[in-house]
Amino acid sequence: MKWRYVLLALVVSISATALIAWRSGWNAHADHINALAADKKQKAEKTIQPVEKKAAAASAGAKVIYRTITRDVVKYVQSPDRTVCQFDDTAVQLRQRAIDAANSISGFDAGAVQGK
C-alpha cells in the first residue's frame, strides 16, 4: 500500500516539473516574440519619422495659403453680385490661386490638380 503513495508522489512531482518547464519555455517564447515586435515597431517609427516631419511642414505652409484664399473667397461670396453667373477676373484668379496652392504643397503623394 505504501508503494502506491510513493508512485502517486512521483507522478505528481514529475507532472509539476513538466508543467513548470512548459510554462518557462512558453514565457521565454513570448518574451522573444515581444522583443521582435518591439524592434519592428521601432524600425517602422524611424522610417516614418522623416515623412511625418515633411508632411507637418507642408501642412503648416498650406494652412497660411488656404486661410488667405478662404478669406478672399468669403469676401467674393458675400458681395451683392454673387448671383450673377459670370466669372469675372476675380473669380478666375481665386480659382487659379487655389489650384496653384494645391499644386505647391510638397511632401504628399497625390497628383497635381489640373487647371486650364
Whether 114 is covered by a domain: the verdict is no
**Number of domains making up the chain:** 1
**In this structure, is residue 109 part of a structural domain?**
no
The answer as to whether 13 is a domain residue is: yes
pTM > 0.85:
no
Taking alpha carbons only, the member of 99, 21, 108 closest to residue 59 is 108
Most confident range (mean pLDDT) of 28-32, 43-47, 67-71 is: 28-32
**Is residue 111 domain-resident?**
no
Please compute Rg for the chain using Cα positions.
Answer: 34
Q: What was the pLDDT predicted at 75?
A: 67
Q: Which domain holds residue 82?
A: 2-104
Alpha-carbon distances of 73 from 24, 60, 78, 90, 91, rounded to whole Å: 68, 20, 8, 10, 8
More confident residue, 50 or 105: 50
Give tens-digit pLDDT for 47-94.
888 888 887 777 776 776 677 777 777 766 666 666 666 666 777 777
Express the helix, strand and coil content of the chain in percent, nearest 5 each: 80, 0, 20
Within 10 A of 97 (CB to CB), how many other CB atoms are there? 16
